[in-house]
Structure 1
Amino acid sequence: MASPPDLKSGATLRNAFGGVLALFIIILIGVLAFSIRLFSVIKYESVIHEFDPYFNYRVTQFLTKNGIYEFWNWFDDRTWYPLGRVIGGTVYPGLTLTAGTMWWILNSLNIPLSVKTVCVFTAPIFSAAAAWATYLLTKEVRGTGAGLTAAILLAIVPSYMSRSVAGSYDNEAVAIFALIFTFFLYIKTLNTGSLFYATLNALSYFYMVCSWGGYTFIINLIPMHVLLCIVMGRYSSRLYIAYAPLVVFGTLLAALVPVVGLML
């Protein structure tokens, strides 16, 4: 028996309102994640904290001033003194390239921010993106309510805040987002069997490899999940589509990162 038209329209309106409300809440969560990480800037000033973040800032300065070719071939005699350091072959370039690209885009739009300012605010910006990625991941598994709950928990969890406050310009600033987003795309591919999402998953994995040595979490956990599915008799074409492009395409891309190479 078909439902009356007024019931259908009422359900449609409720779904639309729920979607708009969820979007509004997730935007507020992103604003919260960004805002609560600005305490050091508000209380003191816009500065880079600690040794490693300052080294990353120096590398980003060099990249924006001299270009990517010089960056890959730069021998920095002020680091690891007196041995020096070949920057292109010893750093995970994802953080530097991300901040450098943001600086270039902003200056192309006639927003003349300094390199230091972009570096200081990179982590808070990506903390909001990480909260949104967490929402997408959890929503894919358990629904909208669980996704919103997970997003706000990630936005305020102290262990993540300590690695993503303004001025904490280290690899985790962008890598946590890349890690969560890669897992989201993997689950999305499992649920849809879409080769498009599988390709995005491989690209996201490549970005993760570029950003942080923690890519080993992904390259170990996902094969373990696939093996467990096979052992439990839950192999399917969607599992194959989710895993094969990630291993083949993602590994080939990851090998292009000099610090990783073929030692995957």
Structure 2
Amino acid sequence: MASAESSRETSAGTLRNAFGNVLSFFILLLIGVLAFSIRLFSVIKYESVIHEFDPYFNYRVTQFLTKNGIYDFWNWFDDRTWYPLGRVIGGTVYPGLTLTAGTLWWLLNSLNIPLSVETVCVFTAPIFSAFASWATYLLTKEVKGTGAGLTAAVLLAMVPSYISRSVAGSYDNEAVAIFALIFTFYLYIKTLNTGSLFYATLNALAYFYMVCSWGGYTFIINLIPMHVLLCIVTGRYSSRLYIAYAPLVVLGTLLAALVPVVGFNAVMTSEHFASFLVFIIIHVVALVYYVKGILSPRMFKVAVTLVVSVGL
């Protein structure tokens, strides 16, 4: 009798969870539609055009990429920009936006959806605003829960400061970079909670996409070290923290150096020094915890005294 009641309770709980997951999915879908449609005001009221100076330059670059291919794009010297000096486009732009829109255009045309490059560029920002809302849901859910994640997603979909940078026709770096920024933080928290090298690798790849997309990648490479240092100072070091941070610095820096506009700046400029300093600190802390685990408390105190004396 008791086993029958427990099985009924278990099945009822499973049904409630399934219903909650389906409901959350449809709410997320509606949030994505809201984020996309709310940014189409300029297109509906006027027409589908690129507006502002930087978006039009990015549109010209994307046109060149789709017409001439990626090899010519990396080596393109544009004599119409920064006139009369000209500009080596492949080495002076963050290519993430251009490569993203060019890939979307190629995929759509491969599926026999013949959209123009201009149309793809106009709608890239609204599409990625939906992605950014979903990434916000994942980030907040990982930290607080499903309800908080849905609330955060709908707030991001409607916040005016983000709408101004992702409205249809505003084809600028932030169009894809905000999504990359939020998704990188989500994967960092996910790695921190799971201790998985798989998520750590995905985190480094997301950071690489952010580096490709916007110079604001320095927000990531300074905020995450601050969090790691705070965890160490407050005694919250763990192997999961090491796995979340060390691969990001090593693999992320190597990948960032592959972006021509960044290059050796990934290891030579001051905004990256904090990440390397914390990288050294976390290895020292990891060594201390390892030695503490293999020595007795008395021998550990002797070892610490010896190291401090030699250091002084």
TM-score, length of structure 2 as denominator length: 0.82
In structure 1, C-alpha distance between the alignment counterparts of 2:202 and 2:23, rounded to whole Å: 28
Partner of 2:72: 70
**TM-fit CA distance, 1:231:** 1.0
> Any idea what the Cα deviations from partners look like across 1:169-222, whole Å, max 9, x if unmatched?
000000000000000000000000011000000000000000000000000000
In structure 2, C-alpha distance between the alignment counterparts of 1:7 and 1:115, rounded to whole Å: 57
Partner of 1:160: 162
Please, what is the CA RMSD of the aligned residues? Answer: 2.3
> Any idea what the Cα deviations from partners look like across 1:213-249, whole Å, max 9, x if unmatched?
0000000000111111111111100001100110000
**TM-fit CA distance, 1:38:** 0.5
Over 3 Å counting, the alpha-carbon distance change for 1:147 and 1:72 in structure 2 is same
**TM-fit CA distance, 1:7:** 6.0
In structure 2, C-alpha distance between the alignment counterparts of 1:130 and 1:88, rounded to whole Å: 27
In structure 2, C-alpha distance between the alignment counterparts of 1:185 and 1:60, rounded to whole Å: 29
Bigger RCO (CA 8 Å, 6+ sep): 1
In structure 2, C-alpha distance between the alignment counterparts of 1:32 and 1:4, rounded to whole Å: 45
In structure 1, C-alpha distance between the alignment counterparts of 2:94 and 2:104, rounded to whole Å: 17
In structure 2, C-alpha distance between the alignment counterparts of 1:152 and 1:210, rounded to whole Å: 27
> Quick one: which of 174, 177, 180 aligns to 2:176?
174
> Any idea what the Cα deviations from partners look like across 1:140-169, whole Å, max 9, x if unmatched?
000000000000000000000000000000
In structure 1, C-alpha distance between the alignment counterparts of 2:31 and 2:200, rounded to whole Å: 28
In structure 1, C-alpha distance between the alignment counterparts of 2:7 and 2:147, rounded to whole Å: 24
Computing the radius of gyration over CA atoms, which structure comes out larger, 1 or 2?
2
**TM-fit CA distance, 1:125:** 0.1
- The 3-state SS of whatever aligns with 1:4 is helix
> Quick one: which of 31, 34, 44 aligns to 2:33?
31
- The 3-state SS of whatever aligns with 1:243 is helix
* Stretches of structure 2 lacking an aligned partner (at least 5 in a row): 264-311
* Stretches of structure 1 lacking an aligned partner (at least 5 in a row): none
> Any idea what the Cα deviations from partners look like across 1:55-114, whole Å, max 9, x if unmatched?
000000000000001000001111111111110110000000000000000001111000
**TM-fit CA distance, 1:5:** 4.4
Over 3 Å counting, the alpha-carbon distance change for 1:80 and 1:7 in structure 2 is same
**TM-fit CA distance, 1:6:** 5.9
Over 3 Å counting, the alpha-carbon distance change for 1:3 and 1:148 in structure 2 is farther
Kindly, what percent of the aligned residue pairs are identical?
90
> Any idea what the Cα deviations from partners look like across 1:109-131, whole Å, max 9, x if unmatched?
11100000000000000000000
Q: Which ranges of 4 or more aligned residues in structure 1 deviate by more than 6 Å?
A: none
Which structure has greater helix proportion? 2
In structure 2, C-alpha distance between the alignment counterparts of 1:4 and 1:86, rounded to whole Å: 73
In structure 1, C-alpha distance between the alignment counterparts of 2:174 and 2:71, rounded to whole Å: 25
In structure 2, C-alpha distance between the alignment counterparts of 1:6 and 1:17, rounded to whole Å: 20
> Any idea what the Cα deviations from partners look like across 1:25-58, whole Å, max 9, x if unmatched?
0000000000010011111111001000000000
- The 3-state SS of whatever aligns with 1:177 is helix
